[in-house]
Structure 1
Amino acid sequence: MDTKTTEKTATSKTDEVAAGTSAEAAGTTQAAETAADAGSIPAAETVADAGAAVAAEDTAAELLDEPDDELDDDELDDEEAPSAEATGLGAAAAAVVSAALSAVALTGTWTGKVVAERETLIGQIKTSAGGTPAQQINEIYGDAWHSTALVNGVFALLAVIVGVLVLTLPRRPVRVRAVAVAGAVLGGLGLLLSVGTYFDLFLSLPTTGS
């Protein structure tokens, strides 16, 4: 009898311990599920709030970028317009300069006149002490003519260079190109006359009788 009673008592205690353990496990599982449910709600709300904030930031960035792009386009247009206008104005001025230089080369300059008078004076000084008529002609007149032709030739060459540079520029107005062509042609004519005069191709120096 004692042995049976002891066995029943041990069995009852074992069942009570197992039941207690099961109850504790169930309580722990329920608490964990409750905590998980309670934590998932704020987490979902946090994710939703973060997504809304990111969308708001993207929308604000797009709104800020659009005026900047328009402003940049307007600024680029404003910068290109004065640049093109300045380039056209420079080309027109260069064409006029070319035409003026060619006219100066054909008609003569004050600089050429001064250089010619200087050479004449030097020739008179050289031949004052004595010299043949051929030397006097060469020193007094020949050097003066050649100096004048040299100065006019320099102006003519500058006219040709400036006119050709203007013609090489792209998208120039017709009037600018016309003036540049006139300056280059007249400059070339003046250069031809200057070279011929310098080397006595058109007019030779007077000579004395043998």
Structure 2
Amino acid sequence: MNTTPSTATTDDTEEKETADGTAAAPDITKKTGPEEDAVPDGVAPGLTAADVTEMDVAATDAAAEDGREAELEPDPYAEAEAAAAAGAGTGAAAVVAAGLGVVSLSGAWTGRVAAERETLIGQIKTSGGGSAARQISEIYGDAWHSTALVNGLFAVLALLVGVFVLVRPAFGTPTERPQAGWVRSVARAGVALGVLGVLISAGMYFDLFVALPTAAGS
């Protein structure tokens, strides 16, 4: 009886015997189905090249989004430094306003220089003669008015600087730190002294408080 020798066929998932007779692990790298796209080393089995490409694109987009968020996110240290600089500037302006208000009431050396200049001019004008009323007006009246004018200018500056400090938060950014209490208090003092200085200087300039003396018989 003739027997046809059988040929043993093995597929990719059957175990193979090694030379010493032990069973070898099945070769899972071989595929029984149609050829699929090659997958790079280090990628989990079961993923195709298209899946890997899609994952790379998603990772790139996420990195770009993180970069944009990092650029748009404000630096807290820079904001703190800007707020400290703004607070120091407004505090200094408030002190300046108060100082100008005090100068407007007490007088400055510029006012004395202006008064002495007007006195000298009056003496020159009346050196050739003139009535007593004219001498009083030229020598003393113009000097007083010059002093009042200079003091009034200091008062106006104190008023403007103080008002600027008080209204500045209304024009600042929403995240700007509020002003300190002492800054607003000093600024209010500067405004009050400025208003008082303006009133006194105006009264002195227009001879409302103290009138010029009059000569007898004039």
TM-score bucket (shorter structure): 0.7 to 0.9
Could you say what the CA RMSD is over the residues aligned between the two structures, in angstroms?
2.1
Question: In 2, distance between residues paired with 1:122 and 1:87?
Answer: 47
Amino acid at match of 1:97: V
How much identity, in percent, do the aligned residues show? 50
Q: Which is helix-richer, 1 or 2?
A: 1
Aligned residues between the structures: 169
Amino acid at match of 2:110: T
TM-score w.r.t. the length of structure 1 is 0.74
The runs of 5 or more residues in structure 1 that have no matched partner are 1-39
The aligned counterpart of 1:178 is 185
The aligned counterpart of 1:160 is 159
Once superposed, which parts of structure 1, at least 4 consecutive aligned residues long, lie more than 3 Å away? 63-72
1:7-42 deviation digits (Å, cap 9, x = unpaired): xxxxxxxxxxxxxxxxxxxxxxxxxxxxxxxxx945
1:143 aligns with 2:142: yes
Amino acid at match of 2:214: T
The aligned counterpart of 2:84 is 85
User: How far does residue 160 in structure 1 lie from its aligned partner after superposition?
Assistant: 0.5
Question: In 2, distance between residues paired with 1:48 and 1:106?
Answer: 88
1:118-162 deviation digits (Å, cap 9, x = unpaired): 000000000000011110000000000000000000000010111
Matches within 5 A, 1:170-209: 170=169, 171-209=178-216
**Highest CA radius of gyration, 1 or 2?**
1
The aligned counterpart of 1:125 is 124
Matches within 5 A, 1:14-29: none
TM-score w.r.t. the length of structure 2 is 0.71
Question: In 2, distance between residues paired with 1:150 and 1:192?
Answer: 11
User: How far does residue 68 in structure 1 lie from its aligned partner after superposition?
Assistant: 6.1
1:33-75 deviation digits (Å, cap 9, x = unpaired): xxxxxxx945x426920321220332254256436635753x5
